[in-house]
Amino acid sequence: MTDAPEVVSTASRRSPRVRRVVGFLGVLAVVVVAWELYKVVGEALGGVVPGTELRLRPPPNDRFMPHTWDVVLQLFQPVRRNGELTVLLLAKAAMFTLREALVGFVVGGVIGFGLGVAFVRSTLAERAFMPYVVASQTVPIIAIAPMVVVWGGQLDVPQWLSVAIIAAYLTFFPVTINTVRGLRSPAPTAVEMMRSYAATPSQVLWKLQVPAALPYIFTALKVSATASVIGAIVGELPAGFRDGLGRALLEFSQQFNVKKLMAAVLMSALAGILFVAAVTWFEHRLVAGDHRREG
Amino acid sequence: MSDAVVLARGVGKVFGAGAARVEALTGIDLRIDQGEFISLIGPSGCGKSTLLRLIGDLLQPSTGELIVNGKEPRQARLDRDYGIVFQQATLLDWRTVRANVELPLEIMGVPKEERQARATEMLSLVQLQDFADHHPWQLSGGMQQRVAIARALSFRPALLLMDEPFGALDEMTRELMQQEVLRIWTETETTVVFVTHSIPEAVFLSTRVVVMSPRPGRISQVVDVPLPHPRDVDTRESDDYYRLITEVREALRRGEER
């Protein structure tokens, strides 16, 4: 009998992590080089496609495409004369936005999970509500955001909470869809097995379905983490917050300052990456056997 | 007279309706006494797994009367009168071997200390005490199936239902597992209902082999297996063993022809 257990290797745990960092930096280097190459070649060609009068889009000049190092340097220059360093302003803005996003993420995640459970429990509920859930996601967030802020204002809801609600609106949908899928993922025999133990519906849910659904739910949470940041940024615009990334992005684009805008984009991306990394950290701790699939 | 653990009178099961109507089982009369080892054997579509599921209240009969452990099958299930083992071990990946064995006890609200003691006892019964803290994916198919048996027996049910439990194992492992199951059956004095489509397996394990035939699923013959216990490798080489295999094979053929 082949009874020897397969040994799960832990020896080569460090090298994939190193490889991941190298990969990340490699892609960054390629993007920077491509960007700068486009500028150099484009300017040498006088900003037009060779042999035609067609102008290169985007124009390869410093106004539209600042040097990558200028974007980085911008981070360490004041936003305005005698003002704060750009990086400080953006970091504060990112923290502000992340806080709204986090509240929205948690609220949306809980609602999304709850809807998923309800849909799996009751086909009637799924039939009745799923079309609305889907429809809700086809309405552009820029249409919803001002309504939420205006209604929230009339109900004396703090503005940051209105923004969090907008973030939650983008968060819950992937969680619902994946929760439904995950809760239905156990094999029919696993469900029969629970039935043979005369398990109650809530025992089936918490001992079988939810653990089986966790990998699905975490996939959704990673999508939702980024979506909640976008929701918070978009939600800040009608709210007129001065403190968040949304306002910074809007201001810089209105000033047509591409350098500052790019810096703000970098910071937004960083916020999103941090958020997803945090979710992944929890995933590795909560989803047992995960290391087996990832090798 | 010993008590009937399973008593079926005129049990039938119909799936679907109209053009899609399938008569999976018809006119099943069967009595299984305490301590018996009964195999249900037959070609695909003969309703052997359906009959097992009816006994386990995973399906409900369309006609007839079915009594399990002196009760309605539903009540027997609620009283946890039977444990079940499927072709796939159906272990929960996120739980250790020990925690898998404890699962039914956890659901039944057995206190932690007793749970642990029972799991330890069951794991030594299936000779996996050294693998208690492993996860299912670290075990071979045969070991996984032994965990599934330990889990099914952890709450000491009167009846063990097994649905082609060794169907996914290689031949060598399969023979070892058959030996294991006989040993466990002797040690625990559990009544076993065992679904298989292997004739030698059915003969080797059983006290009686219930031969079934399809369209509609029914019992065509019941073959007594008076081979002495304990059964081992010598049993597999005895003339009686071959004679009984032939008898079951012919019963199967007759069932097909009818």
For chain B, what is the domain count?
2
Query: Same domain, yes or no, for B145 and B106?
Result: yes
Which domain-ending residue is among B118, B140, B156?
B156
B124 touches chain A (CB under 8 A): no
Q: Which amino acid is at A53?
A: E
The alpha carbon of residue A8 is apart from the nearest alpha carbon of chain B, in Å, by 8
Write out the DSSP string of chain A: ---PPPPPP-TTSHHHHHHHHHHHHHHHHHHHHHHHHHHHHHHHTTTB-TTS-PBPSS--STTTS--HHHHHHHHTSBSSTT--BHHHHHHHHHHHHHHHHHHHHHHHHHHHHHHHHHHHH-HHHHHHHHHHHHHHHHS-HHHHHHHHHHHHHHTT--HHHHHHHHHHHHHHHHHHHHHHHHHT-S-HHHHHHHHHTT--HHHHIIIIIHHHHHHHHHHHHHHHHHHHHHHHHHHHHHHT-SSSHHHHHHHHHHTT-HHHHHHHHHHHHHHHHHHHHHHHHHHHHHSTTHHHHH-
Residue B258: its pLDDT value, please? 61
Report yes or no: B154 and B101 within 8 Å, Cβ to Cβ. yes
Q: Which two tokens stand for residue B214?
A: 């399809």
Residue A291: its pLDDT value, please? 46
Q: Is residue B117 part of a domain?
A: yes
Residue A1: its pLDDT value, please? 44
Query: Same domain, yes or no, for B134 and B198?
Result: no
How many other CB atoms sit within 10 Å of the CB of residue B212? 25
Q: Which two tokens stand for residue A280?
A: 């992944």
Residue in chain A closest to B175 (alpha carbons) equals A1
Q: Is residue B226 part of a domain?
A: yes
Residue in chain B closest to A192 (alpha carbons) equals B58
Query: Same domain, yes or no, for B96 and B124?
Result: yes
Residue in chain A closest to B99 (alpha carbons) equals A207
- Whose tokens are 């832990």? That residue is A10
Residue A14: its pLDDT value, please? 61
Q: Is residue B5 part of a domain?
A: no
Query: Same domain, yes or no, for B136 and B248?
Result: no
The alpha carbon of residue A273 is apart from the nearest alpha carbon of chain B, in Å, by 28
Burial B4-38 (b: 16+ CB within 10 A, else e): bbbbbeebbbeeeeeeeeebbbbebebebbeebbb
Residue in chain B closest to A209 (alpha carbons) equals B92
Query: Same domain, yes or no, for B115 and B202?
Result: no
The alpha carbon of residue B232 is apart from the nearest alpha carbon of chain A, in Å, by 17
SS3 at position B202: helix
CATH 1.10.3720.10 fits A67-294, yes or no: yes
- Decide if A196 and B84 are in contact by the 8 Å CB cutoff: yes
Q: What is the 3-state secondary structure (H, E, C) of A250-291?
A: HHHHHCCCHHHHHHHHHHHHHHHHHHHHHHHHHHHHHCCCHH
- Decide if A197 and B86 are in contact by the 8 Å CB cutoff: no
Of the residues A189, A196, A202, the best mutation for testing chain B's interface (the one with the most B CB atoms within 10 Å of its CB) is A196
What residues of chain B lie within 8 A of the CB of A1, using their CB? 140, 142-143, 172-173, 176
Total beta-carbon pairs less than 8 A apart between chain A and chain B: 78
Query: Same domain, yes or no, for B56 and B139?
Result: no
- Decide if B107 and A5 are in contact by the 8 Å CB cutoff: no
- Decide if B84 and A190 are in contact by the 8 Å CB cutoff: no
Mean pLDDT of the region B132-140: 92
What residues of chain B lie within 8 A of the CB of A199, using their CB? 107
- Decide if A196 and B58 are in contact by the 8 Å CB cutoff: yes
Q: How far is CA B132 from CA A75, A289, B120, B142, B157, in A?
A: 56, 16, 8, 15, 22
Mean pLDDT in chain B?
91
Tens of pLDDT, residue by residue, chain A (295 residues): 445 554 544 444 567 888 888 998 999 999 999 999 999 998 888 888 888 888 888 888 888 889 998 888 888 888 887 888 888 999 999 999 999 999 999 999 999 999 999 999 999 999 999 999 999 888 888 888 888 888 888 888 888 888 999 999 989 999 999 999 999 999 999 999 999 999 999 999 999 999 999 999 999 999 999 999 999 998 888 877 778 898 888 888 888 888 889 999 999 999 999 999 999 999 988 886 544 544 3
Q: Is residue B1 part of a domain?
A: no
Mean pLDDT of the region B51-70: 93
CATH of the domain at B197: 3.40.50.300
In terms of DSSP bridges, do strands B191-196 and B159-163 run parallel, antiparallel, or are they unpaired? Answer: parallel
Q: Which of residues 59-88 of B touch A (CB under 8 A)?
A: 77-80, 82-84, 86, 88
List, in sequence order, every residue forming a beta bridge with B71; answer none if it has no partner.
B68
- Out of B58, B79, B86, the one facing A195 most closely (by C-beta) is B58
* Domain range enclosing B245: 35-61+70-81+157-258
- Out of B92, B138, B172, the one facing A211 most closely (by C-beta) is B92
Taking the CA atoms of residue B93, residue B97, residue B102 and residue B106 in that order, the dihedral angle to the nearest 10 degrees is -30
Residue B2: its pLDDT value, please? 55
Query: Same domain, yes or no, for B48 and B120?
Result: no
Regarding predicted confidence, which is higher, B96 or A50? B96
Query: Same domain, yes or no, for B131 and B150?
Result: yes
Which domain-ending residue is among B156, B176, B210?
B156
Residue A127: its pLDDT value, please? 93
Of the residues B53, B69, B79, B84, the best mutation for testing chain A's interface (the one with the most A CB atoms within 10 Å of its CB) is B84
Query: Same domain, yes or no, for B162 and B133?
Result: no
Residue in chain B closest to A195 (alpha carbons) equals B58
Q: Is residue B3 part of a domain?
A: no
Residue B180: its pLDDT value, please? 87
Q: Is residue B186 part of a domain?
A: yes
Query: Same domain, yes or no, for B147 and B93?
Result: yes
Largest CA distance in chain A: 79
Query: Same domain, yes or no, for B161 and B253?
Result: yes
Q: Which residues contact B80 (CB under 8 A, 6 or more apart)?
A: A197, A198, B104, B108, B155, B157
Which domain-ending residue is among B132, B156, B180?
B156
Domain spans in chain A, listed from the N-terminal domain onward: 12-65, 67-294
Q: Is residue B98 part of a domain?
A: yes
Cα–Cα distance for residue pair B123/A67, rounded to 1 Å: 67
- Out of B57, B93, B104, the one facing A289 most closely (by C-beta) is B93
Cα–Cα distance for residue pair B246/B199, rounded to 1 Å: 9
B90 touches chain A (CB under 8 A): yes
Report yes or no: B126 and B147 within 8 Å, Cβ to Cβ. yes
Query: Same domain, yes or no, for B144 and B230?
Result: no
The alpha carbon of residue A19 is apart from the nearest alpha carbon of chain B, in Å, by 27
Q: Is residue B18 part of a domain?
A: no
- Decide if B131 and A5 are in contact by the 8 Å CB cutoff: yes
